[in-house]
Amino acid sequence: MNAHQIFYDADCPVCVREMALLSERACSEPVIAVPVQGNEALLASYGISRADALTYIHMKTADGKILRGMDALRLMHRVSNGFFVFRLTGLPLLRPFFDWLYPIFARNRYRFPAWLLPHPRCENGACQISPKQQKDKKS
């Protein structure tokens, strides 16, 4: 089975924190976090410009579809059992609002202090695996 590829800005504290949290989750489908920096040729082969990739998060799904912005985040959080709030962003009444809001957030993400974000359990190369993940890995 092919893996989903999520392309993120490795110079963005919000993006890096989100990818660290993603790496800790037991995903229902394989997801590979790929930094934009150093992978411009790969992105170009998918028709994604460097500027666009650095502005909005992108995902190449396992079946080859390119998702951008909230669609990419919704799928990432669905397969990684991520934050419940992302399920709400796909509801018919809320979806247009969050689709409108994401580009504003994305263009201003460097203004958000990293301390506001959830902290991954992996710090400085030392990781703690949650009891649920330990149980899932043994199964």
Spatial CA neighbour of 98 closest among 108, 85, 117? 85
Determine the structural domain holding residue 116 and report its residue range: 4-138
Specify the pTM.
Answer: 0.76
Q: What is the per-residue pLDDT across 60-70, written as a single tens digit (0 to 9) for each?
A: 999 999 999 99
Predicted confidence at residue 123, as pLDDT, reads 52
Domain count, the chain: 1
What are the pLDDT digits (tens) for 85-135? 788 898 999 999 999 999 998 988 888 666 666 555 555 444 444 444 444
Say if residues 30 and 126 touch (Cβ distance below 8 Å): no
Task: Please work out, in degrees rounded to the nearest 5, the angle formed at the alpha carbon of residue 77 by the alpha carbons of 37 and 45.
Answer: 35
Helical segments of 1-139, H only: 13-24, 40-45, 50-55, 70-79, 85-88, 95-107, 131-138
Helix (H) or strand (E) holding 68: strand 66-68
